[in-house]
Homo-oligomer: A and B are copies of this chain.
Amino acid sequence: MQNELPECGVARFLVLLEGPWATLIVRELLHGPLRFGQLREALPGISPHTLTSRLRQFEAHALVTRTVYAEVPPRVEYELTPLGQQLRTVLDAMAEWALTVPAVADREGAL
């Protein structure tokens, strides 16, 4: 698992949120704490392995906490830490920009 982080902020971001699933996991957790199964349901196509490894990476960098509730069966919840919550500004900026970009077909139709 990647411990060293690049000095460049953008490169550092791309290591911390490695791959598209990482950003989508954060998008879901910004709605509130979720269980593993709920995250898998919200992200069709993600493999358990990828979800586990991304969540572990987030925990290692204190972006997510993993809480086990001593119930029967035990309940495990993942939640963004305050540092993780601050990703809201980045994801909002991503969405705001991306929604100004027309799909290629729209643009060609409009020429």
> Which residues of A approach B to under 8 Å, CB–CB?
3-5, 8-14, 16, 18, 20, 23-24, 27, 60-63, 83, 86-87, 89-91, 93-105, 107
Contacts and interface: CB of A to CB of B under 8 A. Distances in A.
A14 to B, nearest CB: 4
Q: Within the oligomer, what is the number of copies of this chain?
A: 2
A106 to B, nearest CB: 9
Nearest to A86: B97
A36 B4 CA distance: 30
Contacts of A12: 95, 98-99, 101
A45 to B, nearest CB: 12
A82 to B, nearest CB: 11
